[in-house]
Structure 1
Amino acid sequence: MSATQLRKASLLLPFFLLSGVLLIGVQSTWMNNPRMDLAISIDLLVLVPLSWFLLIRKREIPNITVVPITVLSLILGFVLLRPEDQTYLHYFESFVLPFVELGVVGFILWKVVQIRKALKANADTTSDFFDSLLMAVSDILPRPVVRPFALEIAVFYYAFRFKKAKPIEGSFTYHRESGVTALYGALVFIILVETAVLHILLERWSPLTAWILTGISLYTAIQFLAYARSLSARPIRLHNNSVKLNYGIVASAEVDIQNIERIETTSSDLPEDGSVVKLGLLGALESHNVILHFAEPVEMIRLYGTRVSTTAIALYLDKPDEFKAAISS
């Protein structure tokens, strides 16, 4: 067996440990040992994550993958062990796991700060907090979960961000005259009112259900608040030979100026065949006054990483004439 094959095979060691724990778990006679629950808990929560870390620390696999391995081991423990044998698992879940989660978030925010400093040192004015957050998360998490994870952090950042965005040269706003901020504000107000009424009605039937739905509704309100507040913080930006079409943290697209075939100034209804995609979140509820037509398809990224390929994007600009002049110059 070659050294490369040996290294690949060594990555299976944690799974062999898990298989051994599973074998012990299905043997009910072994579980009668009063110390077996402690032994299995140590195997799952210490040995498996530790062995995984030792195997990947000199590889290109991110060290942060130790966290999901630990969580999977914890879940397996709850499935495997009887309720009366889950004492140590509950200790870990209550007193260790929260600090692990805080550590991950803290590490990501530290990475964001470092990236922001590096971008400022290189005079990069096109990247903002959300861009830096995506870069930081992409260094430690698999691509499919990068945007959803970053979005959850960004929601709380923008929802409770009180620092006013500074005007940036080469940027174009879209929130001041479009009415979208008022629209999102109205949605937040409606959600809060409906939540209060629904909570009162459901509490008579099931207090637990009432509080669960209230929590979900409040989080939804915070999301829309973050979407609204991120609009002013992430304007559309013109940099070198490209245009960064931002729509808060809701959507974005990177467009080469040479790929812009024409800029149509119109507020007419969009074609029903879907040939023109709106940059906003709420479709027809949000207004537009410009349609960008492209020679080649452009990829637009929406919430949670959904990608849409299109040859035309409809959006609203507070000063469309200035935008057209900047593109044409």
Structure 2
Amino acid sequence: MVSPSKLSRSTYWFIGAALLILSVDSAVVLTMKEEPFLAYAILFDFMLVIPLLYWLLVIRRTGRKLKAVLPLPVLGGLAAWFILPSSMKGAVWQTIWPIELLVLTAEAAIIFYEVRLIVRVVKRFRQIRRTEANTGEAIRVAVQEVLGSGKLASVLVHDASMIYYLLFSWGARKRMLLQTEEDSYSFTYHKETNQVLMAAFATKIIIMESVVVHLLLAMWSPLAAWIVTFSEIWLLMLLWADTRAAVLQPIRMDGKGIRLRYGMRLQGDLQWSDISSIDWSKTGYELDKAELKRSAGPMLGTPNVKLELHREKRVEGFLFLPKQTRIIYLKVDEPQKLVDQARAYAAQ
């Protein structure tokens, strides 16, 4: 949730204007209950004026597209229904249905556009798949080439990768191992941490906990109980997708640089010219909150490798959301071997 101190001035202006319109309309309803034009005036405010103000003062300044306000006229009509007297509530439904039809038409156009994007992604994926044995990597490249590298594209890549590793990657190990080039090295990061065993143990705890929580919440709200249960299911899916990705995608290193594919937790591509130093610690690096905030890392476990960059570089963390950082921490099975090989490549 955004704290009040982080709200922009234009957002405060919108909140103030919306509250003023709501107050005036509510006062008018109390004093002019039987005026026939009253319902249409209030609907005009709620379905057009307030959404327009929201677009001008909030949405437009963030760079988001106009489709972000398409549901607001319908929501405004429903809000107007609550403050109108019962004798005028019928006017709401007479006014909403043509606007709702317009919204549905706009949404159909958006869906058509999104379907076209999906078709382009699939076509590009098939092209990349001919030369890239790693299906997860092919998905990643195809989505980013078609949709770009923004936050929405990153989340879509994350979800598509999660589904792939969870459901469709079980025959991929042999094919991906055959892909390893002679002049490249790979380094695992799931063995010393017993990630498969830990995932199985966490699954047992989550299932037991979700059953108890579901039964308790169901006595208060069945909807809340199912929301929490589906959240637990999504967490289990992410847990096993991350475990599968960790097995299939070791950290790779060649003469060009390092390709970081750290499960579903950390993604990045570094050239040797990007790296200023690389070190390892036998006891691991203990990170405080400040260091965690300014660096990127595997999230779980105590890291034993530290990479410092010459300048900030984009990497992708949780949900593949982009982050600019100069420090990257890793937890690998053979830290000394990785550091020695990296230094040998960097010295070439």
Q: TM-score range by the shorter chain?
A: 0.5 to 0.7
How big is each residue's C-alpha offset from its partner over 1:152-192, in whole Å with a ceiling of 9 and x where there is no partner? Answer: 44433433334433223236252441323333343333222
- Separation (CA, whole Å) in 2 of partners of 1:152 and 1:233: 17
How many Å separate the matches in 2 of 1:181 and 1:107? 38
SS in 1 for 2:168: coil
Judging changes above 3 Å, is the alpha-carbon distance between structure 1 residues 114 and 236 closer, same or farther for their aligned structure 2 residues? Answer: farther
Higher helix share: 2
The one of 137, 141, 145 aligned to 1:135: 145
Change (3 A) 1:236 1:99: farther
Q: Which structure 2 residue ranges, 5 or more long, are not aligned? A: 1-20, 30-35, 53-63, 83-88
- Structure-1 residue corresponding to 2:70: 70
Distance 1:224 1:249 in 2: 9
Please state how far the C-alpha of 1:270 moved relative to its aligned partner: 0.9
- Tell me, yes or no, if the aligned pair for 2:74 and 2:100 is still in contact at 8 Å: no
Structure 1 residues 220 and 322, CA gap change in structure 2 (3 angstroms): closer
> Counterpart in 2 of 1:235?
250
Aligned residue pairs, count = 281
CA 1:256 to 1:72, structure 2 compared with 1: closer, same or farther past 3 Å?
Answer: farther
Partner of 1:251: 266
- 2-structure distance, mates of 1:76, 1:149: 30
Render the CA deviation track for 1:102-139: whole Å, top value 9, x for unaligned.
75664444232222244356779794323332333328
Percent identical: 14
CA RMSD of aligned residues (A): 4.7
**Contact conserved, 1:241 with 1:257, CA < 8 A, in 2?**
yes
Paired residue for 1:202, among 208, 212, 217? 217
Alignment match of 2:186 (pick from 166, 169, 172): 172
User: Would the alpha carbon gap of residues 73 and 229 (structure 1) be closer, same or farther in structure 2, given more than 3 Å must change?
Assistant: farther
Equivalent residue runs for 1:101-250 within 5 Å? 106-120=115-129, 127-138=137-148, 143-165=150-172, 166-167=176-177, 168-169=179-180, 170=184, 172-178=186-192, 179-238=194-253, 241-250=256-265
CA positional deviation for 1:288 = 4.0
Separation of aligned partners in 2, 1:81 and 1:222: 41
| Closer/same/farther in 2, CA of residues 222 and 107 from structure 1, 3 Å limit | farther
Letter in structure 2 aligned against 1:159: L
CA distance in 2, matches of 1:162, 1:101: 32
Q: Secondary structure at the match of 2:196?
A: helix
**Could you say which structure has the larger radius of gyration?**
2
> Match of 2:202, as an amino acid?
L
Give the secondary-structure state (helix, strand or coil) at the position aligned to 2:70. helix
> What is the TM-score with the length of structure 2 in the denominator?
0.60
Contact 1:74 1:89 in 2 (8 A): no
* Structure 1 residue ranges (4+ consecutive) displaced by more than 6 angstroms after TM superposition: 89-93, 95-102, 121-126
